[in-house]
Structure 1
Amino acid sequence: MELQKMNGHSRDDGFDALESMAERDEFLPHKSGGKKEAHFTDFEGKTSFGMSIFNLSNAIMGSGILGLAFAMSNTGIILFIILLVFIAILSAYSIHLLLRSAGVVGIRAYEQLGNRAFGHPGKMLAGCIITVHNIGAMSSYLFIVKSELPLVIQAFLGKHENTGEWFLNGNYLIMIVSAAIILPLALMKQLGYLGYTSGFSLSCMVFFLISVIYKKFNIPCPLDEDHHNLTEIAADFTIHNGTDDSCEAKLFTINSQTAYTIPILAFAFVCHPEVLPIYTELRDATKKRMQTVANISILAMFVMYLLTALFGYLTFYVAVESELLHTYSRVDPLDTLILCVRLAVLVAVTLTVPVVLFPIRRAVLQILFPEKPFHWARHICIAVCLLIIVNLLVIFVPSIRDIFGLIGATSAPSLIFILPGIFYIRIVPEEQEPLLSRPKIQAACFAAVGFIFMIMSLSFIIIDWVTGEARSGGGH
């Protein structure tokens, strides 16, 4: 057997050779009556290398970028950079595990990897986690549209307050945005077609980053007394900490909020449901080529995250709020540049929603219609139903923060750490990688880290609920 001959060479060389064989054949044939097994993703990719980078970068880039300056204020600059590097490397390694597993069996669908590893329960588990996580992500983006778009329209119209017109109602606006912008993009047959909108979305976030850097040199510290809201925040910090260093950058900081930073950063790099769909549609797809797409995307987002957090923090220091744009608005509500930035962020999150919708539709198709060929009616119906569900969530759930927190605490560690690790251990044959080999031990440790993240995140949420109830029960 060629597989056994490979074992005479280094294990990694043999493994790469096996993967290249699989990729030359597009998908490995399986023993099913002597004919090749049909796969959901069995078609030739046509998306260019650059467009694939745009799509994956857009999938990584989330609304969490607005909270990174606040995260840095709770860790200090050096500790934040260490954590950011650590999470970025782990995310790249996680994608490496997914691609290796896909290369062994010739399958480029997350749900089918679950099926190969654990049978139908594994397929259902992967599909459900992807669906729940991405519905949460879509809802968070539309929540930004619901809260920010009325304020932007109000500012452009020169109104000082919301006077109740229908076009200033966030519920109506998200329905209009969903029907007019998101749905047509979500009806594209292939994810690769969204490369152009993803590129434009990323351009909007680059504009946001440039504005954050520019504002660093235009907002004084300490803030003028006119900006009393933020001055009070800094003063409150001084009272509680007994120091007057509200304009001093901290290199290392440990406080009650520091523990939340690790989950926030981990969630900032979640793009794993989109990796295999993008891999499927990549032109001349190989594991090495897709890993390069992933590495470039992660590096680009790492730089954007770091610069946004750094300059946002160095602008406001202890006065920075959990939502960076809100902090700028409190300094000068009528600032034209910040108004344009808010509009750019709205465009960016709106154009990200269709990219996030594709893996949910794929998961639904894998669970409900695994053997059915592509059909436009089914394709359109699932997209419409998903958008209706997300719109209803955003409209009728008044405080969805805790629900999203619970979803994020379970789905994000599963998608980044747990599932790629256990899929790798189960799928890679023991002839290639024995159970006690270094790569499989690393994968097992990686999955264990995911369980630790999950337990930590859930613990923080439960403690928050308990202490919050205690505070409210105390008559405050």
Structure 2
Amino acid sequence: MGSNYTPIPKDSFVELQLQDQNNHRSQNPKLSHLVDDLDDDVDFDFDHLPLVIVPKDDSGSGIYGAVFNLATSVIGAGIMALPATMKVLGLIFGIVLIFLMGILSEISVEFLVRFAVQCKANSYGEVVHEALGKPARILSEICIIINNAGVLVVYLIIIGDVMSGSLRHIGVFDQLLGNGFWDHRKVVILIVVLVFLAPLCVLDKIDSLSTTSAASVGLAVVFVIVAFVVAFIKLLEGKIEPPRLTPDFGSKEAILDLLVVIPIMSNAYVCHFNVQPIYNELEDRSPQKMNKVGRLTTVLCVLIYASTAVAGYLLFGTDTESDILTNFDKPLGIRFSTALTYIVRVGYVLHLVLVFPVIHFSLRQTVDELAFNGSGPLSESRKRCLGLTFVLLALVYLGSTMIPSIWTAFKFTGATTAVSLGFTFPALIALRLSSQGPGLTSRERFLAWLMLSLAVIVSVVGVVGNIYSLQSESK
């Protein structure tokens, strides 16, 4: 109606100011009448204002940029462990579990967004605080720190194994260049951290990473295409052994493996720590838009996960390693297999380099909220941002030199922190805060209880399986 307004903080009052009010009144009687009656006819519902109020000219990210950032949070190193889970679960049960966990994860993201908007929370910890109190918030932030730090350690382990090799596998540098300083994986990882990762990690907005996130998803798709093409060619040539379709319950070792891989599967979709940062930078900040982002991300990730798990397991069968990239250090049995092995390994290392800053972003934000609560936004303190970035990079690097394999890391984070962040906390938030707003439908309440029950079962099963697995290995 020809008026301009300036958005102001949510704790202030709203006042409409008309330009040249007197002139407009004299020239337009209808407008004058409308302005006179404005106070009586217009009510502002502050309870339904957007989560973060910013000026209109502060452009945010679009839907597809948000999808790439959220998908990058999902498609990390976990995809490399999926073919090994197919070896344990079998193709039928494994694929069903991939789809089931994807659907539950998308529902939990919708719960998180809805109730974060309802209580005006800006982070995962804040919505947990509103629903469950300060101790639960601290616990959730500790879970984010452990989960994300563990994931980043896994990324560096994979980069070191692929480029410099391990005890059982030869690295890309050894194959291309022979022996040299690159045989020392700690040196190679340190160079990657300083030269490639540090410049990306110092960025203070997650939207700044949308382009690199799109590139990382593209590199993951390249891996899927190559694996599927090679598996299809070998299947036509009769060089692929019949795959296992169902889990093997014939031995104690098989049952222990089954107990271990189920939490790893639940870990594959955990991206909830980045939901709020991505939502806060959306151009159109509405729950409907973020839910669309979540659904598109889930469809993309389910397709990539299922394709990778099936193709990788068909390619290597019972020889599938916990990190399938290490299987690509030997010929694949088809033409141009050497070139394809280099493309797969180097391409996925680049993918992890581009994923690393997205996971690091929420790790840094959470550490700042936990350690410097009340010190103001991290984006307003460049020194604190840089200090946290380099301290966290140093700690993650040290962790990568101490943990022997990604399977070890995924077993523990998948059974504890990942399940809590992806399913336990969102279900508890929905059940607790549903009484303060529109509430949950009977179907949504059932899903929340189902999610919570499955999370508890998976956590208990995973912890028990890991304990028995460690005891078996020590004997």
TM-score, with structure 2 as normaliser: 0.80
Instruction: Name the aligned partner's letter for residue 112 of structure 1.
Output: E
Quote the offset at 1:337 in angstroms. 1.2
* Aligned residue number for residue 405 of structure 1: 411
Contact map agreement 2:264 2:415 (CA 8 A) in 1: no
Q: 2:322–2:407: 8 Å Cα contact kept in structure 1?
A: no
| Residue of structure 2 equivalent to 1:35 | none
Cα distance in 1 for partners of 2:47, 2:326 equals 48
Partner of 1:178: 193
Matched to 2:211, the amino acid is: Y
Q: Indicate yes or no: 2:461 matched with 1:461.
A: no
Alignment of 1:351 onto 2:362 = no
**Offset from partner CA, 1:347-401 (integer Å, 9 cap, x none):** 0111111100111111122222333132111111111110000011112445675
In the alignment, what sits opposite 1:388? 394
For 1:397 and 1:453, locate their aligned partners in 2 and report how far apart those are by CA, in whole Å: 24
State the AA in 1 paired with 2:108. Answer: S
Seen in structure 2, the aligned counterparts of structure 1 residues 217 and 403 have a Cα distance that, compared at 3 Å, is closer
Aligned to 1:229: none
- Matches of residues 121-136 of structure 1 in structure 2 within 5 Å? 121-136=135-150
2:457 to 437, 452, 455: 452
Q: 2:341 aligns with which of 317, 338, 342?
A: 338
- The residue identity in structure 2 corresponding to 1:249 is P
Q: 1:170: how far off?
A: 1.1
Q: Name the aligned partner's letter for residue 280 of structure 1.
A: N
- In 2, Cα distance between the equivalents of 1:22 and 1:266? 38
Q: 1:360 aligns with which of 359, 363, 367?
A: 363
- Aligned AA (2:280): T
Partner of residue 249, structure 1: 243
Calculate the TM-score normalised by the size of structure 1.
0.80
Counterpart check, 1:216 vs 2:231? yes
Q: 1:367–1:328: structure 2 CA closer, same or farther, 3 Å change rule? A: closer
With 422-431 and 337-346 compared, the bigger mean Cα shift is at 422-431
Partner of 1:90: 104
Contact 2:260 2:465 in 1 (8 A): yes
Distance in 2, matches of 1:307 and 1:399, equals: 24
1:154 paired to 2:157: no
- Give the residue type in structure 1 aligned to 2:147: H
Alpha carbon RMSD of aligned pairs, Å?
2.7
Q: 1:59: which partner in 2?
A: 73
Report if the CA contact (8 A) 1:205-1:348 is conserved: yes
2:48 and 2:118 in contact (8 A); partners too: no
Paired letter, 2:465: F
- Within the candidate set 371, 381, 384, 1:378 is matched to 384
By how many angstroms is 1:335 displaced?
A: 1.1
Give the stretch that moved more between structures: 104-113 or 404-413: 404-413
How far off its partner does 1:114 sit?
1.8
Cα distance in 1, alignment partners of residues 302 and 61 from structure 2: 24
Match of 2:202 among 187, 191, 197: 187
Matched with 1:25 is 49
Contact 1:111/1:127 (<8 A) preserved: yes
> Which deviates more from structure 2 when the two are superposed, residues 446-455 or residues 189-198?
446-455
Distance in 1, Cα, partners of 2:204 & 2:220? 26
Does the C-alpha gap of structure 1 residues 249 and 377 become closer, same or farther in structure 2, counting only changes over 3 Å?
same
Report the CA distance between 1:247 and its aligned residue. 1.8
Instruction: Count how many residue pairs are aligned between Structure 1 and Structure 2.
Output: 411
Q: Which position in structure 1 is the counterpart of 2:24?
A: none
- Which of these two proteins has the greater Rg computed from alpha carbons? 2
Match of 1:328 in 2: 328
| Equivalent-residue separation in structure 1 for 2:412 and 2:138 (angstroms) | 20
Kept in 2, the 8 Å contact 1:191–1:277? The answer is yes
**Deviation at 1:130?**
0.5
Amino acid across the alignment from 1:144: I
